[in-house]
A and B are shown apart, each in its own frame.
Chain A
Amino acid sequence: GNSVTQMEGPVTLSEEAFLTINCTYTATGYPSLFWYVQYPGEGLQLLLKATKADDKGSNKGFEATYRKETTSFHLEKGSVQVSDSAVYFCALSVRRNSGYSTLTFGKGTMLLVSP
């Protein structure tokens, strides 16, 4: 079936460190891939997305490249800030029997950045 696997957290970094959060997926066809971010007590916000192989999504210094050959969509940032502390979710679009697509999410990875 369709699924997303993320690295377990928490990921603990010092400010200005390099960040990588791994995400791999299993899917039929060619899904769109997403990274969402959740700050404490809030809903999720779209961080970036890629809709086809080799696309690179980027936003606020974060980047992720859709790698079809390795079925991966790893999130990276060159220099993290304390304000980046949050839970990050990788997701893929899944076409259902209804004919519509919905998102399937990974379990989330908590990032903690210290000053």
Chain B
Amino acid sequence: DGGITQSPKYLFRKEGQNVTLSCEQNLNHDAMYWYRQDPGQGLRLIYYSQIVNDFQKGDIAEGYSVSREKKESFPLTVTSAQKNPTAFYLCASSIRAGQGGEKLFFGSGTQLSVL
């Protein structure tokens, strides 16, 4: 079955540690996205990528980094510079670069907590 796989489902970070969240899709979609979800805050865009080897900052990119070396993979690194990393992280993809009407397909999320 085609879809988006996020791993791990739960992740714990120690102070000063960088952690990487995995996102893989086998839908052959061009575009991929990372959102952060906090209770009562809705979803906020961290980074997005429309094609391989290219990505753009979203609304809350500080303290995060990404790479897009392969079409099917878009890992997110939460760096030690992100002072409030506890949140539910959602990866999504869409068929093509965003022209306004595309449907997003979401993974099942990773819950990141600070020890």
Task: Using CB atoms and an 8 Å cutoff, list the residues of chain A in contact with chain B.
Answer: 31-32, 36, 41-46, 49, 51, 89, 93, 95-96, 98, 100-108
Contact = CB atoms under 8 A, between A and B. Distances in A.
B98 A100 contact: yes
A51 B100 CA distance: 8
The residue in A89, A95, A98, A106 that gathers the most chain B C-beta atoms within 10 A of its C-beta is A98
Contacts, number: 64
A31 B98 CA distance: 12
Interface string B74-115: 000000000000000010100001111111101111000000
A96 to B, nearest CB: 7
9 contacts: A31-B100, A43-B106, A44-B43, A44-B92, A89-B43, A93-B100, A100-B48, A101-B100, A102-B45
B64 interface: no
Interface in B4-21: 4
B101 to A, nearest CB: 5
B109 A43 contact: yes
A106 to B, nearest CB: 6
Interface residues of B, number: 28
Given A36-B104, A100-B99, 11 more contacts: A32-B100, A41-B109, A43-B109, A49-B103, A51-B101, A100-B31, A100-B98, A101-B98, A105-B44, A107-B41, A107-B42
A100 B48 CA distance: 10
Contacts of B44: 105
Contacts of A95: 100
Interface string B59-74: 0000000000000000
